[in-house]
Amino acid sequence: MPQTQAFADPLILYGVPHSLYTGVVRCYLRTQGIAYIERPTSHPDFAQRIMPAIGRSIIPVVELPDGRIIQDSIDIIDHFEHAGVPWSAWPDGPLQRVLAIIVQYYGSQAMLRHAMHYRWSYLDKQEAFLRDAFAAGSGHEMAEKIMARMQSYLPQLGVTEASIPVIEQSFESLLDILEPHFREHPYLFGGRPSVADYGLIGPMFAHLGRDPVPSDLMKRRAPRVFRWVERMTAPRLDAPEFTQYGTDYYTNDTLPETLTPLLAHIAEEIFPELTSKLVFMDDHVNQWQPADGQPVSDKPHQRYIGAIETQFRGVPVTAGVQPYLLYLLRRADAVLQSLDETEQSRVLAGLQRHGLDRALPGQRGYSVGRRNHIEVWEIPG
C-alpha cells in the first residue's frame, strides 16, 4: 500500500459542508489520509485568487501545496489517483470500471433531481438548518441570493408537482435496494470505496443524508445505508462491522447479486432522459459547428445549453442539458476502447444484461473536455 507521506503538507479545499460536489472530494481526501484545510467561498482568497484563476465561481476547488489549482471532483480524484494513493478508487475489472462510472453518473448527475427536491421542496420543515448552513458558508447577504438561485433550478431539473411523487418513490426504492447490499458489503464494489461510491455519496451525504427531512427518512428506513454514509465521511476505511472482509474489490470482474437491483434501478431511471440529452447535443453540435476548444456555453458559469422534454418514471418532465455529462461518461468509452475485441464483447454483454449499454456515448464525432478549468467542445481534426 503506498504511503501518504507525499500528501503530508495540507492542501486547501474550497467548498462548503452542504455542497454536493465538495462532499465527494472531502470523502476522498479523508479516505486517503490526505491532509487538507477547508475554507468557505466567503474566504477572501477565493474571490481574490481562486476565481480569477478558474474563470468562474464554482466549487469544489483544491489548491495544492505547490500552488497548483484543480477544479471539479472528477479532476481532483484523477490527480491523486495518478499520484498514487493508499486505496485506489478504480476497480480491477473493466466491466466493474465501466459500471462504476455509470453509477458515478447516476449519483452525481441523475440524482440532482432527488437532492434538490428534498432540499427545497421541504424548505418550510428545514429552513433554520439550511439558512444556517448557507450563511455559514457564504455570509447572510450572499446566502439569500444563493438559496434563491438554487430554488430556481427546480424546473430545469424536472422537479414539479407532477413529478414529486415519483421522485420520492424513486428515493425510497433506492434506499430499499441499497439496504440489503450494505448489510453484506461495506462499499458498492467490495472492500473499499470506488468511483461509484464517490459518485453516489455526493447527493446521499450533502443533501439526502444531512438535511433534516431526507436524513430522517434514511435513518428510519435504511439504517445500513446511513451507516455507509457515515463510513464514507469518516477517515480512512471505517468498517468495524466488516473486520474479516478485507479491502479488495470483487475478484474476476464479478458482481454480487445484491448489486443487480441497483443497476436495474439506474437503467430504469436514466433512460430515456440520457438518450434524449445525447441526441440534443448531437443536434446542437451539428447546428452550431463549434471549433475544437470552444467553450460549451457563451459564459463560463452557464452549464446548461438547452432543455429537453422527456420522462422520468413515466412522468413528463423538462430537463436541462449539461455537456458535462459527456465529460463524465467518455471515461467509460475510454475503458472499453482500451480492451481487445474479446474483452470488449464480454463487457458489452455485461452492460446489456443490466440494460446499461446505451449509457456509453460511443462514436459521435465530438466530445467534451476541459481546458483552463472550463468545459470545451473537442472536435477531432
Q: Is residue 89 part of a domain?
A: no
Kindly state the DSSP code that residue 174 receives in the 8-state scheme.
H
Domain boundary among 83, 110, 143: 83
pLDDT of residue 3: 40
In single-letter form, the type of residue at position 362 comes to G
On whether the CB atoms of residues 270 and 106 are closer than 8 A, the answer is yes
Q: From CA 2, how far away is CA 88, in angstroms rounded?
A: 10
Rg of the chain, C-alpha, whole Å: 20
- The CATH number for 30's domain is 3.40.30.10
249 and 125 fall within a common domain: yes
Please indicate, yes or no, whether residues 163 and 260 belong to a single structural domain of this protein.
Answer: yes
| Angle separating helix axes 195-206 and 73-83, nearest 10 degrees | 140
Same domain, 240 and 181: yes
pLDDT computed for residue 341 by the predictor: 97
Q: Return the pLDDT at 141.
A: 77
List all residues 6 or more positions away from 206 whose beta carbon is below 8 Å from its beta carbon: 17, 18, 19, 20, 22, 23, 115
Say if residue 335 is in the same domain as residue 277: yes
Q: Residue 313 falls within a domain, yes or no?
A: yes
Do 70 and 137 sit in the same domain of this protein? no
CB atoms within 10 A of CB 323: 23
Residues 263 and 289 in one domain: no
Structural domain for 110, as ranges: 94-269
State the Cα–Cα distance between residues 97 and 125, nearest whole angstrom.
Answer: 39
With both helix axes pointing from N to C terminus, report the angle between 140-152 and 123-138 in degrees, rounded to the nearest 10. Answer: 130
User: Count of domains in the chain?
Assistant: 3
Please tell me the number of Cα atoms within 13 Å of 11 on its side-chain side.
Answer: 24
- Split the chain (381 residues) into runs of 10 and give each run's mean pLDDT: 60 95 98 96 94 94 97 97 97 97 98 97 95 84 86 92 97 98 98 98 97 98 98 96 96 97 98 97 97 93 93 95 97 97 98 98 96 95 80
Edge-to-edge order in the sheet of strand 11-14: 36-39, 11-14, 61-63, 69-71
* 42 within domain boundaries: yes
Chain centroid to Cα 355, Å, comes to 21
Which one of 53, 83, 113 terminates a domain? 83
130 and 34 both lie in a single domain? no
Residue 127 and residue 219 share a domain: yes
pTM over 0.85: yes
- Same-domain check for residues 258 and 306: no
